[in-house]
Structure 1
Amino acid sequence: MNLFEAQRARIMQLNALDEVRKMTLQHTEVFQNPRTKWHDRYVKEKKFKLGDWALLYDSRYKDSMGKLQTRWLGPYEIVEVFQSGVVQLATIDPIQFKLLVNGHRLCLYHKPTTREEFIQQFDIQPHATILAAHARGLSIPNI
């Protein structure tokens, strides 16, 4: 085999290698597109705002915690939300420290209300309730 034939054989091998790479990329796309569609269908988008409170999932004890132990830490206050999905949290204690976490590890926490705010949410006129019950034929015991 002379030098010219060896060069030609090597070029043919490189062209064949490029074709194999292209076929592999096409094959990967064919199989990954349905998987990504299926995955994206079940991913829930979480939207956080500044000032919200959130609970942080503690993934260190995923398998070893007891069934009555909580896996959520916090609450923390959301200080900043980045476009990449990273959220900066701060503790709500007097001594604050900040930490960066992935937004998928967070769950919104609804701030506790005071007793007065809670009562105002369910402030129902007792007379209107009694009249509505009598209209339906129900009897309500005296309180």
Structure 2
Amino acid sequence: MKEDEVGNKRKLDIQELEAIRNNAYESNMIYKEKTKVYHDKMISRKTFVQGKKVLLYHSMFKLIAEKLRSRWVRPFVVTRVFDHGAVEITSKQTSKTFKVNGHRLKPFYEGFEVKNEELDVLENPTYQD
């Protein structure tokens, strides 16, 4: 009789372990779905228009130890936008045309005009209460 009780207890333990595994699997799938939705929501979509200027990410600079060097290379002009994120760009300096992945590009914004404003500076400032 003891063998039957031990056998039944073992079967119940195995079933309970299987239920715990299934619960963990379902929880893991729910977590992955929520994480994917959050990640997809935070991705900024880039749209490129023909004739606009863009900067190209130069991946070789990632290996260089210079911290303050910009990893974005000179402005290029978008000549053609392909399906699935490919973009054809042209360099104004060398007039070479090549295709790159749109993830390696970011829009180039022209600099703001700086107005020269002259300020009256006192040689010996005095503070008055």
TM-score (norm 2): 0.58
Q: Identify the residue that residue 97 of structure 1 maps to in structure 2.
A: 96
CA displacement, residues 12-51 of structure 1 (integer Å, 9 cap, x when unaligned): xxxxxxxxxxx9xx96864542232121122101111110
Aligned pairs (5 A) from 1:51-66: 51-66=51-66
The 10-residue stretch of structure 1 (33-42 or 84-93) with the greater mean CA deviation from structure 2: 33-42
Q: Identify the residue that residue 126 of structure 2 maps to in structure 1.
A: none
CA RMSD of aligned residues (A): 2.9
Query: Greater helix percent: which structure?
Result: 1
**Deviation of 1:90 (Å):** 0.6
Separation in structure 2 between the aligned mates of residue 101 and residue 65 of structure 1, nearest angstrom: 25
Structure 1 segments unaligned to the other structure (5+ residues) = 1-22, 123-139
**Deviation of 1:63 (Å):** 4.2
Count of residues in correspondence between the two structures: 93
Separation in structure 2 between the aligned mates of residue 79 and residue 38 of structure 1, nearest angstrom: 33
Q: Identify the residue that residue 33 of structure 1 maps to in structure 2.
A: 33
2:88 is paired with a residue of what secondary structure?
strand
User: Identity of paired residues, percent?
Assistant: 27
Separation in structure 1 between the aligned mates of residue 35 and residue 100 of structure 2, nearest angstrom: 26
Separation in structure 2 between the aligned mates of residue 39 and residue 82 of structure 1, nearest angstrom: 25
Q: Does residue 1:80 correspond to 2:80, yes or no?
A: yes
Q: Identify the residue that residue 6 of structure 1 maps to in structure 2.
A: none
- Aligned amino acid, residue 37 of structure 1: V
Q: Identify the residue that residue 4 of structure 2 maps to in structure 1.
A: none
TM-score (norm 1): 0.53
2:80 is paired with a residue of what secondary structure?
strand
Q: Identify the residue that residue 105 of structure 2 maps to in structure 1.
A: 106
Q: Identify the residue that residue 47 of structure 2 maps to in structure 1.
A: 47
